[in-house]
Chain A
Amino acid sequence: MGDGCARALDLLPLHIQGRISDAGEAVWVKQHLQLCGDCAEEAAFLEGLLPACPEPPVDLVASVMARVEAPVTPSVHHVHRNLPPSALPNSAPSRQRVRFGGWAASVAALLILGLGIGSLWTGDGANGGDLLFSAFLEDDEVAVDRDDWMVAGAPVLDALPDEVLLALVSEARR
Chain B
Amino acid sequence: MTAPEQQPNPGEDRPDGPLVQRARSGDREAMAELVTRHQGTVYRFLLGLFADEDLAADATQETFVRALGNLAGFRGDSSFRTWLLAIARNEARGALRRRVRRRELALDDAPPIEDDGVGPEAAALRSAEVHRIREALADLPPKQRMSVSLRLFDGLSFREVGRAIDSSEGAARVNYHHGIRRLRELLDEQGDQVRRRRSDG
Asked whether B105 lies within 8 Å of A150 as measured between CB atoms, the reply is no
Contact B93 A144 (CB under 8 A): yes
Known pairs A53-B44, A64-B61. 5 more at Cβ < 8 A? Answer: A17-B11, A61-B36, A82-B122, A96-B104, A166-B49
Interface contact B35-A60, CB-CB below 8 Å: yes
A interface residue numbers (CB < 8 A to B): 6-7, 9-11, 13-14, 17, 19-22, 25, 42, 45-46, 48-57, 60-61, 63-65, 67-69, 72, 76, 78-82, 93-96, 98, 103, 135-136, 139, 144-145, 147, 149-151, 154, 157-158, 160-162, 165-166, 168-169, 172-173
Contact residues of B with A, CB < 8 Å?
1-3, 6-7, 10-11, 13, 28, 31-32, 35-36, 39-40, 42-44, 47, 49-50, 52-58, 60-62, 64-66, 68-70, 72-73, 87, 89-90, 92-105, 110, 113-114, 117, 119, 122, 127, 129-130, 133-134, 137, 142-143, 149, 151-153, 155, 158, 165-166, 173, 176-177, 180, 183-184
Closest to B13 in A: A21
Decide: A60 and B57 in contact? CB cutoff 8 A: yes
B69 to chain A, nearest CB (A): 7
5 contacts between A and B (CB under 8 A): A67-B61, A76-B58, A98-B100, A144-B94, A169-B95
| Cβ A7 vs Cβ B3 within 8 A | yes
The docked-state distance in angstroms from the alpha carbon of A21 to that of B66 is: 32
B103 neighbours in A (Cβ, 8 Å): 172-173
Tell whether, in the assembled complex, residue A14 and residue B137 are in contact, meaning their CB atoms are under 8 Å apart.
no
Q: Is the interface of A mostly helix, strand, loop or mixed?
A: helix
List the B side residues contacting A9 at CB < 8 Å.
177
A149 touches B90 (CB 8 A): yes
